[in-house]
Amino acid sequence: MSKKLYVGNLSFSSTEESIKDLFSQYGEVLSIKIPTDQMTGRPRGFCFVEMENAEEAINQLNNFTFDGRALKVNVARENPQGGGSRGFGRSGGFGNRNRNRNY
């Protein structure tokens, strides 16, 4: 069974290829996902790596210096079904402001 790893404190200059090269030393890398900021398109400083056998990668790469940064590597937490909301929906954050105001 494969495991998804959270890799934090990732350099913004790290690429999918360089991450794969690093993690493949400890087993088969099934996938890599590098989330980006929706506004700027820049990497957010972390990624998810899915591996067949993740324990050795966690043991060897947690606190390992990669691209000048000490990585934080652990098993990724599963998100609850249905995803989450950040509270910025139609009425979130600023109360119920109605554009049509009757004065």
Q: How do residues 67-92 score in pLDDT, each as one tens digit?
A: 999 999 999 998 766 555 555 555 55
Residue 23 has a pLDDT of 98
Spell out the domain ranges in the chain: 3-75
Q: Which CATH architecture has domain 3-75?
A: 2-Layer Sandwich (3.30)
Residue 88 has a pLDDT of 52
Residue 79 has a pLDDT of 76
Tell me which residues of the chain have a pLDDT lower than 70: 1, 80-103
Residue 89 has a pLDDT of 52
pTM for the structure as a whole: 0.75
**H/E stretch holding 21:** helix 16-23
Relative to beta strand 65-66, strand 69-70 is: antiparallel
Q: Which residues pair with 49 in a beta bridge?
A: 5, 32
Phi, then psi, of 88 in degrees rounded to 5: -110, 30
